[in-house]
Chains A and B, each alone.
Chain A
């Protein structure tokens, strides 16, 4: 459900690079379509079918369950904190990396990619090691009675960590390709740093930013592994939608599980739609930017 895999924008169809016959082509396309249908489409349909197995009434009833509502609320809250945070920090990091020269830049680049390359479970465990009762900061936190893991702040932190690269990864290449001359021009024209950022830098990357935010959001709502480690699974309190789905499923409440799953899948599909729209918009902008030089 988590949409972690990047789908590269297929902006243009390349000219025919190979000389396969039409038959080969048809077979290859057929295989790809069949594969997608079996691997992606069928499971998705199953989710919605299972949710509806006992009819619409039962489906809607399962959304009346206070624990389910709490899980939906928590997921939205976590996304509402993690996504804007990552958007702002990702933007700042990309800006620093793309527009300035400084020591440790490569290290920062590697760090940004780190959450992609380590397992989400480890991302979660890192926080247990940091904030757990026996972690580095555990005793200090306990002294001040601050609860980080097994509470909402821990879930937010784990989500922030796992979804951090989405915005920065989207922005850095674009900002690098755009260079610094527009900003420098703005500065010589007397614009302040803020004015330059909001009037020149930001408008130039707004579509990419939005695209990164959408990917980030999809993952933030769908993240299971890292959140599972720091959640504590307290019903109605620290279960996000993905965790709650597992719980419902384990309680033989299949309709309930698939009802929440289809809501999550629905949100993901919406995100995907918005993303495709942006890809289409964004491809146009990129092509225009390329033409200009």
Chain B
């Protein structure tokens, strides 16, 4: 026993030492992309494409590491020291937080890349079960009695905030901009929500895998993905009359990338998102490309035409929307009461 213990200590110490060193001593460069939940499948494909392209151009083998989680949580981790070279998150607000709290990227990061640094967009749609048993056509159907709606918690999930704002935009338009009645309508909507998951992916599994609820308010790309994973016949996508334009932004975390000597490859990585190949892969993985010219027409045909409101034009930007709706004690806190 004593011998065993002493040897294990030595081994353990050696392992600890090695792992400490490993962060710096890797021969090949590794780029860390910290992203949000629904992009897993897209970046899996995109990373392979980028690595191949980089290798062809420079001869260097690059490893791309991925971390996924709720957008807000991921931003928090980067602020706390997660060594992300690039962040590809759900909301500009989350990257703003990183910029202001860590100082590792400039405040005007969104100006560095085209289209407010959003290489792809998405929107919010409904996912319903086969044959749409509750006959859900538009937002108005979600507040009816007996309809169970699945959406994540806007306090923790980026996707959930888009869902909320899309619903708000619809109600506000229907009710002629009457804020009190819009609030009541939103309260009715959240009364129909039996489970508030913390992230978009959690809500999707609740709806698709665990079979809870009649309709899932979802990222468009998530909805397509569910159809792909669970069989197209089992779920139907319903496009509402009005939705919101979601622009998930990307940025180089310059402080980290520079310290790790990755600035060049990090910038190239994000630029590649805008390249024909990157845009094509985005479309393939159900994100709407900002430059559809090189995407597969069959992929593009899957995206329905829908009237979209914009966060900047209709809600005055993320900072304002965040304060008005989602801050502690703001509108969401006022209207939401857990039902059980």
Residues in chain A within 8 A of chain B (CB atoms): 77, 80-81, 84-85, 87-88, 128, 131-135, 138, 142, 145-147, 149-153, 156, 198, 202, 206, 232-237, 247, 249-252, 254
C-alpha gap A232/B85 in the complex (Å): 13
Query: Nearest Cβ distance between residue B215 and chain A, in whole angstroms?
Result: 19
Mind listing 13 A-B residue pairs with CB under 8 Å? Answer: A84-B11, A85-B9, A132-B81, A134-B101, A135-B80, A149-B80, A150-B77, A150-B82, A150-B83, A152-B16, A152-B22, A206-B1, A250-B205
In the complex, number of A-B residue pairs with CB atoms less than 8 Å apart: 96
* Residue numbers in A under 8 Å from B8 (CB-CB): 80, 84
* Residue numbers in A under 8 Å from B65 (CB-CB): 234-237
How would residues 33 to 75 of chain B score, 1 for a CB under 8 Å from any chain A CB and 0 otherwise?
A: 0000100110000000000000000000000011111000000
* B20 at the binding interface (Cβ < 8 Å): yes
* A133 & B81 in contact (Cβ 8 Å cutoff): yes
* Residue numbers in A under 8 Å from B201 (CB-CB): 250
C-alpha gap A84/B209 in the complex (Å): 40
* Residue numbers in B under 8 Å from A131 (CB-CB): 81
* B23 at the binding interface (Cβ < 8 Å): yes
* A250 & B12 in contact (Cβ 8 Å cutoff): no
* B69 & A233 in contact (Cβ 8 Å cutoff): yes
* Residue numbers in A under 8 Å from B205 (CB-CB): 249-250, 252
A84-B8, A250-B37 are known contacts. Are A202 and B80 too (CB-CB below 8 A)?
no
* A87 & B80 in contact (Cβ 8 Å cutoff): no
Q: How many B residues touch A, CB cutoff 8 Å?
A: 39
**Known pairs A80-B8, A147-B81, A150-B80. 8 more at Cβ < 8 A?**
A84-B11, A134-B101, A149-B81, A151-B19, A198-B2, A234-B65, A250-B37, A252-B225
C-alpha gap A237/B1 in the complex (Å): 32
- Which of B37, B209, B259 touches A254 (beta carbons < 8 Å)? B209
* Residue numbers in B under 8 Å from A132 (CB-CB): 80-81
* B32 & A234 in contact (Cβ 8 Å cutoff): yes
* B12 & A85 in contact (Cβ 8 Å cutoff): yes
Residues in chain B within 8 A of chain A (CB atoms): 1-2, 5, 8-9, 11-12, 15-16, 19-20, 22-24, 32, 37, 40-41, 65-69, 77, 79-83, 101-102, 201-202, 205, 209, 225, 229-230, 259
- Which of A81, A145, A232, A237 touches B77 (beta carbons < 8 Å)? A232
The 6 closest A-B pairs by CB, nearest first: A133-B81, A84-B8, A152-B19, A132-B80, A81-B12, A252-B229
- Which of B2, B11, B20, B229 touches A202 (beta carbons < 8 Å)? B2
* Residue numbers in B under 8 Å from A146 (CB-CB): 20
* A81 & B23 in contact (Cβ 8 Å cutoff): no
A202-B2, A236-B65 are known contacts. Are A147 and B23 too (CB-CB below 8 A)?
yes
Closest to A155 in B: B19
* Residue numbers in A under 8 Å from B20 (CB-CB): 146-147, 152-153
C-alpha gap A152/B9 in the complex (Å): 17
* B12 & A234 in contact (Cβ 8 Å cutoff): no
C-alpha gap A85/B14 in the complex (Å): 13
* Residue numbers in B under 8 Å from A251 (CB-CB): 40-41
Query: Nearest Cβ distance between residue A114 and chain B, in whole angstroms?
Result: 23
C-alpha gap A249/B102 in the complex (Å): 32
- Which of B22, B81, B202, B259 touches A250 (beta carbons < 8 Å)? B202
